[in-house]
Structure 1
Amino acid sequence: MSDLADYLTARAGIWHYARRVPAAFAEFDPRGVIRQSTKIRVIDDPRKVRAARAAARINSELEAYWRDGLRGDAVAARARYDKVRRDARRLGFEYISAVEVSQRPIEEILQRFEALAARNVIDDKPAEAALLGTVPAPALELTGLFDEFETLMKASLRTMSEDQLRKWRNPKKRAIANFIKVVGNKAVAQLTRADALDFQRWWQARVIAEDMEIETANKDIGHLNKMLRKVEHAHQMQIGPIFAQMRIEGGTTGQRVAFDPKFVQDELLKDGALDGLNDEARRVLYLISETGLRLSEACNLTRETIKLDAAVPHVMVRPNGRKMKTEQSERDIPLVGVALEAMKLQPDGFPRYRHKSDSLSALVNKFLDSKKLLREDGQTLYSLRHTFEDRLTAVEAPDKLAAALMGHKYHRPRYGVGPSLAQKREWLEKIAFKKLPAV
């Protein structure tokens, strides 16, 4: 409260909030000094305690007004700039700044003036601005970096589901928010290597003081590097790869630990072991244990992709309104053992968790932990996928078949259509769990 108390002055026995408009906002707020009564008498609050709280409210509203003003000004500046670029293209030229125009060969400069004369637009100010580059490019600040990056990535994001978009957006927004904490809301074009070094040092201090994971820091650095390089290229900013080689050494990827197959058979698949989980959550676990599906792949199965009446009952992993993790993720997997029994009871899939795999993961992991069924550090529900892969390795399944079941890339030239459903089922039956619970 002490800083806000500095904005308080006594006038006619009443505490008043008074603050000079910062230079950054002066262009659209010409009032000079803002004065507003707190309506709290000095005699009732001599130590400014209540008045400081009132000042905090006034200050918060004022700063929000200033920020909105900046955003509005930025939007208008962007609109002016986009229009002048369109005008330049309409007149047959690339829009460049006045400084760049002056540096072009004299022949090109003359062509621009001749274009104005030929179209009889010598006194047309918008046309002059378009051909002579008199409208400056709006400054892109860090607070606008993500929106600009998302716009540039729009084509790549078109197949993502809302849940996938949320997962894609959030870590990038967090990285920018953390960067702003360190360097402030700078213009992207003014960022330097020193800013990146300050951010790296900030993260190093957090890793030590708060026991944060190094990989968390490196993810922030990686996201910022990717966003800045993409935006820099699009806007020809030439700020350079300021985050290159900034990763902090010593991090680990946090590889999940597989369950022992015997533990899955004797403990996870024991009758009553999963009592307390709702039917859909329990049956997703059964499905994953026999198929190695990613959790999101299991949650987004539908009646159209569950083929129980086929000669070889199977599930089809398809996009279904979401982007596939890899090209190889699209695959068909036979149903055997407890997975087949579970899916007979879920012919429409798992509507409760469709596009909500994170919620299911949190629920099941909490349940398994409470039942002491996560015996090693790093084990989660997803560990069943690693167990599935280990079981294929144990029976020496061909690499091509294992890759087809896991949805991994097969690192050899691709010929033919790959293993058939019958071939896949033959190998899955070799590793199917034998003692099955009531599903």
Structure 2
Amino acid sequence: MAVETAVLGGVDRPRVKVSEAFEIYCNEVAAVEIVGKSEEQKKSWKKVKKYAVEVFTKVVGEDLAMEDITRDHAKKMHDHFKGMIAPKDAKAAKKSASLGKRRMGDMSILYKRYFAHIGVEGRPNPFEGLTFNQKFKKSRLPFPIEWVRDVILKPGALAGLNDDARHIVLVCIETGARPIELRYLRKDRIKLHDKVPHILVEPSFDPDEPHEVKTVSSVRRIPLVGVALEAMKLHPDGFERYRENGNTLSATVNSFLKENKLQPTGKETLYGFRHTFEDRLKEGRIDDELRKILMGHSIDREKYGSGGSLKLYQEELMKIVYPFDPAIV
């Protein structure tokens, strides 16, 4: 840590650089907030947050002391992202406005919470108000419903994938679960022998294997029907191979889809099966609220009752279930 001192509120304090403040933020300020994350989730969280610090340091040309950051420094970072979002060269690749918005927001939060942490309240935040508005948000492409039925589920189409990756794809198709939700399944959340076979998506508070779910509404029960049930029968303890290797899973599946021409536009990814699942719910005229429950989306009203039985969920999903050849499992 820098040995020079700065006078803040009449008290001499060490001059802490941005990179050092970031480590304090991760290890002290946000420690309680990330305690429930898995090791993979913690690494991912820190990697994303650190990107803003790295960009800021590169743009201003040095690892400044937190007290030395000015509005001009913050504007330099804002201008950097402006050039990426709306480059002067019309042919240059463009980044999304949400990227700049998130990174500027990360620096603003770091600045605000670091000084609050050391007891300095009310300090003007040089990043305040420097953001970007995004008119259109990019969405992952769904696979066409018929494409999944006629191409992806065709015998032999996924045969080149290892068992865990292939079975995760099959379960994604018939549950709409996020890949990370399937990767973190444990034996106690895979209910193959219940009257209605299903999986439970919920956080883990086990200190040895903690993990979070995306939102409160993500906690849910999803019946296992069709090919998803058959695939899960082969993994009663979950998908250990990819439990802490989400990037490897995505790379494996997405490369396979590309190499085997299983993407109708060349841009669809593993996550696209979740979007296809929602399309199928809509096409099947499944009740809007039940769609949100099954997808793990929030319901914009006060919650009453249990949300319905698993038997109801199962009956509704059977209306849209894909036929399949058992050989594909």
Fold conserved (TM > 0.5)? Answer: yes
> Greater relative contact order (Cα 8 A, min sep 6): structure 1 or 2?
2
- Cα deviation, residue 222, structure 1: 2.0
The match for 1:140 is 16
1:191-247 CA-partner distances (Å, limit 9, x unpaired): 121111111222333453762513433332121122222223333264423223323
- Please point out which of 107, 111, 136 is paired with 1:224: 107
In 2, Cα distance between equivalents of 1:237 and 1:324: 33
The match for 1:283 is 167
The match for 2:45 is 168
- Aligned CA distance change for structure 1 residues 137 and 318 (closer, same or farther; 3 Å): same
Larger fraction in helix: 1
1:189/1:239 contact within 8 Å kept: no
- Aligned CA distance change for structure 1 residues 206 and 408 (closer, same or farther; 3 Å): closer
The match for 2:185 is 301
Q: In the alignment, is residue 190 of structure 1 matched against residue 68 of structure 2?
A: yes
Q: In the alignment, is residue 313 of structure 1 matched against residue 197 of structure 2?
A: yes
In 1, Cα distance between equivalents of 2:81 and 2:146: 42
RMSD: 2.2
2:175/2:228 contact within 8 Å kept: yes
**Per the alignment, in what secondary structure is the counterpart of residue 14 of structure 2?**
coil
**Per the alignment, in what secondary structure is the counterpart of residue 221 of structure 2?**
strand
- Aligned CA distance change for structure 1 residues 145 and 211 (closer, same or farther; 3 Å): farther
Q: In the alignment, is residue 384 of structure 1 matched against residue 262 of structure 2?
A: no
| Range moving further from structure 2, 330-339 or 390-399 | 390-399
- Cα deviation, residue 250, structure 1: 5.6
**Per the alignment, in what secondary structure is the counterpart of residue 131 of structure 2?**
coil
The match for 1:16 is none
- Cα deviation, residue 404, structure 1: 1.5
In 2, Cα distance between equivalents of 1:368 and 1:144: 42
Structure 2 residues not aligned, in runs of 5+: 205-209
The match for 1:120 is none
**Per the alignment, in what secondary structure is the counterpart of residue 315 of structure 1?**
strand
The match for 2:35 is 158
- Cα deviation, residue 328, structure 1: 1.5
In 2, Cα distance between equivalents of 1:196 and 1:261: 46
In 2, Cα distance between equivalents of 1:237 and 1:344: 56
Give the partner amino acid of 2:116: H
Structure 1 residues not aligned, in runs of 5+: 1-70, 82-95, 100-132
2:151/2:157 contact within 8 Å kept: yes
- Cα deviation, residue 422, structure 1: 0.3
The match for 2:82 is 204
1:296-334 CA-partner distances (Å, limit 9, x unpaired): 011111221111111111111122320111112111111
* Percent identity for Structure 1 against Structure 2: 35
In 1, Cα distance between equivalents of 2:133 and 2:148: 36
- Please point out which of 213, 227, 244 is paired with 2:95: 213
1:320-366 CA-partner distances (Å, limit 9, x unpaired): 32011111211111110000111111112111111222210111001
**Per the alignment, in what secondary structure is the counterpart of residue 280 of structure 1?**
helix
In 2, Cα distance between equivalents of 1:198 and 1:251: 23
1:353/1:360 contact within 8 Å kept: yes
Give the partner amino acid of 1:264: V
- Cα deviation, residue 249, structure 1: 5.0
In 2, Cα distance between equivalents of 1:248 and 1:327: 27
1:172-199 CA-partner distances (Å, limit 9, x unpaired): 1121011111222212122121111111
2:258/2:266 contact within 8 Å kept: no
The match for 1:400 is 289
| Range moving further from structure 2, 203-212 or 251-260 | 203-212
- Cα deviation, residue 419, structure 1: 1.4
Query: Quick check: which has more Rg, 1 or 2?
Result: 1
- Please point out which of 149, 158, 169 is paired with 2:25: 149
Give the partner amino acid of 1:220: R
The alignment of Structure 1 onto Structure 2 pairs a total of residues equal to 315
In 2, Cα distance between equivalents of 1:352 and 1:400: 34
In 1, Cα distance between equivalents of 2:305 and 2:134: 43
- Cα deviation, residue 377, structure 1: 5.6
In 2, Cα distance between equivalents of 1:349 and 1:198: 47
Give the partner amino acid of 1:260: P
1:382-412 CA-partner distances (Å, limit 9, x unpaired): 0111111111111221222112111111111
